[in-house]
Amino acid sequence: MFDKREDFLPFSKPSFDRLEEEEIISCLRSGWITTGPRCQALEKAFAAKLGGGARAVAVNSGTAALHLALLALGVGPGQDVLTSSFTWVSTANVIVHVGAGPVLADIDPRTFNLDPAAVERVIAESYQPGPDGRPVHRTTGRTLTTLLPVHYAGQACDMAPLLELARAHRLDVVEDAAHAVGTTYQGVPAGRLGRVGCFSFYANKNLTTGEGGMVTAEEEALIDRVRMFSLHGLDKGAWKRYAKDGQWYQVIHEPGFKYNLTDIAASLGLHQLAKVEGFNVRRRELAAIYDQELAKIPGLRLSQDLGLGVHARHLYPIVVTPAAAQDRAAVIRGLGELNVGTGVHYVPVHLHPYYQEAHGFREGDFPETEAVYQGEISLPLFPTMSDDDARYVGRALAHLLGAA
Ligand SMILES: *Cc1c(COP(=O)(O)O)cnc(C)c1O
C-alpha cells in the first residue's frame, strides 16, 4: 500500500524570514509606503545583479513590465509582435493592449521554449520583406517589429539563432523573463539578452514581492520612457512630489499608466533579491532529485536542459504522454488525493476562446505546443521543500502510473 503523507505539499510557497518582516515594519514606520527610496534601492540592486550597464524600473506586475516595454518601444497599431503560444496569457494580452497584432509560433519539443526554426517558418510563410527590411504581413499588411521570447520554466530560449533572426529582419527583442531571475544564456543574464527585459515578482515566482515586476534595459532614453509611462506620464522623479524637495507643478505629454511599485513591496524585494541565488541553487537540487526519480517512470516525458546557461528552475514541468497508464486529469486528481499540489503551465494562447474568436487562431495550429499542453503538469518546486518531499512526489507518480 502507498503510504500517504499527512500534510498537503503545495505547488509553490514563498520563502520569507525576519529580514523581510523587519524591512516592512521599518518601511511602515518611515511614513513612506509607496514608490520611494526602497524601490530605488531595489532597482539599483537589480540592475547591478544583471551587470553590463543595465538599468531597471520597478513596476507593480510582470504584465505591466511587458506592457510598458512595448509602449516604450513604440509598438502599436499596424505592427505585429511574435511570441510563443506556450506562455501565460498576459504575454499575448499586452500585445493586444497596445493595438498590435499577436503572432504566435510553436515550441521546441525538448525545452518547451520558442523554437527559432518555427519563428523562421512563420516569417517565411506569412511575411514578405518590406521597404525598410522588416517583414510585412502578406494579408494584413502589418509590419513585424518585435520578437517576444519567453524563457519557459527558467531556461533561456536558444537566443543565438533568435537574435540572428531579429538582426536579419530588424526586429526588437523583448524578453519575457518572468521565470528567469538568475537565468543566463552563454554567460549573459536574462534581461540583458534582448533590448528590453521584463520580470515578474508575482507570489509564486523565484523572487516575489507579492505582486511586482521589473523592466530592464541598457538604453537610458528607453528606461526614462518606461518610467514616465509607469506613473501617469509624469517626468522621472515624479514620485517625490510630496517630499520636502518635491515640485507641485507637473504636467504630462503622454497619457501613462499607474504601474509603479510600492515601497512596501520593494521591502520584500530587497531581501528576496539578496537570497534568490541561494533559492535557485535549492531549486536546482530539487529538480535533480526529480530528474532521478522520474526517469524510471514509463509514459512520462521530461523537459531537457540544453546546458546553454544557468537554469533558474522556476517550474518543474512533466508531460504525461498518451502512452501513460492514466491521463493528465487523472494524474492531477490522484496527486491531489495523495496531498500533492500541482499547476498546469499553460493553456496555450491559441486555445483561448478570445484568441480564436478575435485573432483567428485554431486548434491544430501549433502541434508541439498542444502535445506538451495536453499532458503538462507542473510539480511542487520551492526552496523550503525537503529532499524527502521531492522523493515523495516521485513515489506518488510512480504509484499512480504503475511503475512502483
Ligand atoms: C507570471 C508571468 C507573467 C506575468 O507576470 P505578473 O506579475 O503575474 O503580471 C508574464 N509572463 C509569464 C511567462 C509569467 O509566468
- Ligand 1 atom showing the smallest separation from residue 212 Cα: 7
**Residue 67 Cα to ligand 1 middle (Å):** 11
Instruction: Choose which residue among 12, 60, 63 to substitute to test ligand 1 binding: the one with the highest number of ligand atoms within 8 A of its C-beta.
Output: 63
- Report the distance separating Cα 285 and Cα 250, nearest Å: 51
Residue 282: which of 200, 206, 343, 191 has the closest Cα? 206
State the virtual CA torsion across 244, 246, 247, 253 in degrees, nearest 10. -170
Q: CA dist 151 to 87, 88, 141, 391, Å?
A: 9, 11, 29, 27
Q: Would the pTM count as exceeding 0.75?
A: yes
Per the CB < 8 A criterion, the answer to whether 234 and 256 are in contact is yes
Residue 85 Cβ < 6 Å to ligand 1: no
- For residue 342, the CA-to-ligand 1 centroid distance in Å is 18
Taking the CA of residue 64 as reference, the ligand 1 atom at the shortest distance is 9
Q: Is the CB of 300 under 6 A from ligand 1?
A: no
- 296 catalytic? Reply is no
Is residue 70 within 6 Å of ligand 1 at its C-beta? no
The owner of cell 531595489 is 42
- Residue 230 Cβ inside 6 Å of ligand 1? The answer reads no
Phi, psi of 98 (to 5 degrees): -85, 0
Q: Is the CB of 149 under 6 A from ligand 1?
A: no
Ramachandran sector of residue 182 (left: φ over 0; alpha: ψ -120 to 50; beta: rest) = left
88 Cα: distance to centroid of ligand 1 (angstroms):
6
DSSP classification of residue 366: -
Establish whether residue 113 lines the binding site of ligand 1, counting it when its CB lies within 6 angstroms of any ligand atom.
Answer: no
Residue 274: phi and psi, rounded to 5, are: -65, -25
Separation CA 86–CA 106 (nearest Å): 8
217 bridge partner residues:
55
In ligand 1, the atom with minimum distance to the C-alpha of 202 is 7
Q: How far is CA 270 from the centre of its chain?
A: 20
For residues 310 and 184, is the Cβ–Cβ distance under 8 A?
A: yes
Please work out whether the CB of residue 213 comes within 6 Å of at least one atom of ligand 1. yes
State the Cα–Cα distance between residues 112 and 178, nearest whole angstrom: 15
CB distance 378 to ligand 1 below 6 Å: no
CA of 2 to the centre of ligand 1 (A): 36
Centre of ligand 1 from the C-alpha of residue 248, in Å: 35
Task: Please list, in sequence order, all residues whose beta carbon lies within 8 angstroms of the beta carbon of residue 252, skipping any fewer than 6 positions away.
Answer: 232, 233, 234
pLDDT tens string, the chain, 404 residues long: the values are 799 999 999 999 999 999 999 999 999 999 999 999 999 999 999 999 999 999 999 999 999 999 999 999 999 999 999 999 999 999 999 999 999 999 999 999 999 999 999 999 999 999 999 999 999 999 999 999 999 999 999 999 999 999 999 999 999 999 999 999 999 999 999 999 999 999 999 999 999 999 999 999 999 999 999 999 999 999 877 777 788 877 888 888 899 999 999 999 999 999 999 999 999 999 999 999 999 999 989 999 999 999 999 999 999 999 999 999 899 999 999 999 999 999 999 999 999 999 999 999 999 999 999 999 999 999 999 999 999 999 999 999 999 998 75
Give the DSSP per-residue string, 212-243. Answer: -EEEEES-HHHHHHHHHHHBTTPPTTGGGGGS
Closest CA to ligand 1's atom 2: 178
Which of 4, 13, 44, 205 is the catalytic position? 205
User: Dihedral through CA 22, CA 28, CA 29, CA 30, nearest 10?
Assistant: 110
Rounded-to-integer distance, Cα 202 and Cα 61, Å:
7
* Ligand 1 contact, 176 CB (< 6 A): yes
How far apart CA 25 and CA 13 sit, in angstroms, is: 22
Q: What are phi and psi of 229, to 5 degrees?
A: -70, -20
Would you list the DSSP string of 76-114?
-TTEEEEEESSS-THHHHHHHHTTPEEEEEPBPTTT-SB
Query: How far is residue 389 from each of residues 6, 286, 401, measured CA to CA in Å?
Result: 12, 9, 18
Closest-CA residue, ligand 1 atom 6, reads 62
